[in-house]
Amino acid sequence: MQFGADGTLAFTAPDGPALPPEPPREMVEDAVAFLRERAADEGLELGVETNLPE
Indicate the pLDDT class of residue 15, thresholds 50, 70 and 90. Answer: very high
Average pLDDT (10-29) is 87
Mean residue pLDDT across the chain: 87
- In sequence order, what are the residues at sequence separation of 6 or more whose Cβ sits closer than 8 angstroms to the Cβ of residue 12? 1, 2, 18, 19
pLDDT value at 13 more than 80 = yes
Tens digit of each residue's pLDDT (9 = 90 or more) over 24-49: 888 999 999 999 999 999 999 888 88
